[in-house]
Amino acid sequence: MGRSTLFTTLVLCVLAVHCSADGVFWHVTDFHYDFTYLDGAENGTICDSQTAGQPTPNDPGEWGDYICDAPWRLINDTVYAMKAIQPNPDFIIWTGDDTPHIYNDKMNTDVVLTIIGNLTDLLRSVFPNTQVYPVFGNHDYHPKHQMPPAPNTVYNATWNMWNVPSWLPSDVMNTFVNGAYYTVLISPGLRLVGLNTVYYYTNDKVTAPTDDNTDPAGQFAWLEGVLQQAQTDNEKVFLIGHVPPGFFERSKGKSWFYPEYNRRYLQIVARYADVIKGQFFAHQHLDSFRLFYDDQGRAVNSMLLAPAVTPWMTTLGGVGANNPGIRLVSYDKTTGDLTDVNQYYSNLALANMQGSPLWGHEYSLKQAFNLPDASPASLQNLLDSFSNSSSDNFEKYYLYNSVSHDRSTCEGDCKVAQLCAIKEVDYDKYQECIDAPSSGANVARVSMFIPFVVAAFALAA
């Protein structure tokens, strides 16, 4: 920083105008580009990403369809919308799943690489000078999900696309081509770690844990080393990844990680809770968050799950489709503290009717829920308010969960699944939460102690 810039910054800070510590970055994810969109329209199918058993789209639109993955027109428009809304973010995180949900026999490694290349080119041309940090999703490999914990053509070819100015620096080549993970210091005192959590996904059969294989590509040991060093150096860390630990809030009992890997991930977050300032993940295509606790039951960390660009309706029962979404995260550049999340979206049904997507602001976490910031403590207060019958916070959260697509209400089992997924990333504790007779009404951890307090008094008396 030059002297005059520093001086200006200090003056602005003293005047309590905008301190330059206010940072902002885009999180965009799950494009799932379906290059066949509308190809077969005359025969009743409009996209290869329409899965057996799904209803037939009745009015496939120019900008996409809730039954299908994203057409190029929507993808292109999404990235231009990011540019129109915030052209100068500090950086962009892009957390994977680039290819469509189509059967393996219609895919091959060249198609995967072509699509990764198309999206890389688009982001580079629209944001030529912006720093971009990408990671892989489970659809960025052929056969899908089967990512090997070893060097391969996809890592090699993608490295050549991403090792360009403003993207991945040459000094992360070793970890990238061997395991597709890396770390970069993004500003003084703030470090980003790009993880390949596809290895922990139960659909990745080549990384299933065994007695001899407990750490695919050595990523856990490496991560612990990075966090330990960050702690020593007084740095704060953002973790980014695709497949999240814990449970899917819209599908009771559905988890993603192998149990052993879920445990290990949780242990690492607990141990370095003061170093990790944010976890930004995706894969579920929906908007949600997770809390992580210390031994006293205090929320000490959180994970923000960003919704997808693709509107694709999953075949998982009861989950449904979503509107395309993009998110801007606000943070303090010096402390790494998260200050707000602003979610933008396009109502796809309306876009097709109007002939243009019209991106709009969906909500600000701070404003919608009246929170001071996006810290773990604030998210804990938000979760507590979901059980307050005089608050409409849960109804708002549930609408935003599908990016304002599903306007139904969520009560009973539906609500229990939502609350327990947010609260318990640990598999045993999640099950206890689901089984608890009061889980729908009382999610605050402290409320679980009330019966014990009452019992203790009863005994004392």
Ligand X SMILES: *[C@@H]1O[C@H](CO)[C@@H](O)[C@H](O)[C@H]1NC(C)=O
Cβ-based neighbour number of residue 238 at 10 Å: 23
Partner from ligand X, Zn ion, none contacting 137, C-beta within 5 to 8 A by type = Zn ion
Q: Which does 9 bind (CB under 5 to 8 A by kind): ligand X, Zn ion, none?
A: none
From residue 61 to residue 100, what is the string marking binding to ligand X with x (rule CB under 6 A)? -----------xx--xx--x--------------------
Residue nearer to Zn ion on the CB measure, 137 or 241: 137
Sign, Cα dihedral of 158, 146, 291, 410: positive
Residues 6+ apart with CB under 8 A from 304: 27, 278, 279, 280, 281, 289, 329, 338, 341, 374
Residue 153 in contact with ligand X, rule: CB under 6 A: yes
Distance CA 197, CA 67 (A): 27
Using rule CB under 6 A, residue 388 touches ligand X: yes
State which of residues 118, 166, 231, 334 lies at the interface with ligand X (CB under 6 A): 118
- Binding segment for ligand X (CB under 6 A), chosen from 148-156, 215-223, 258-266, 418-426, is 148-156
Backbone angles phi, psi at 423, to 5 degrees: -85, -40
Which position among 65, 69, 97, 98 is part of the footprint of Zn ion (CB under 5 A)? 97
Judged by CB under 6 A, the stretch of 36-44, 227-235, 301-309, 335-343 that binds ligand X is 36-44
In the bound state, the residue with its beta carbon closest to Zn ion is 97
Q: Which is nearer to Zn ion, 138 or 393 (CB)?
A: 138
> Does the footprint of Zn ion cover residue 30 (CB under 5 A)?
yes
Q: Give the type of residue at 242.
A: H
Burial 4-41 (b: 16+ CB within 10 A, else e): eeeeeeeeeeeeeeeeeeebbbbbbbbbbbbbbbbeee
Rounded distance between C-alpha atoms, residue 222 and residue 215, angstroms = 10
> Which residues in 277-296 contact Zn ion (CB under 5 A)?
283
Q: Which residue has the tokens 């027109």?
A: 73
Please state, in angstroms and rounded to a whole number, the distance separating the CA atoms of residues 132 and 123.
8
- The number of residues in the chain equals 461
Q: How far is the CB of 91 from ligand X (least distance, A)?
A: 22
List 85, 117, 263, 448, residue binding ligand X (CB under 6 A) = 117
- Which residues are at the interface with ligand X (CB under 6 A)? 39-40, 42-43, 72-73, 76-77, 80, 114, 117-118, 151-153, 156, 388, 390-391
- Which residues are at the interface with Zn ion (CB under 5 A)? 30, 97, 137-138, 283
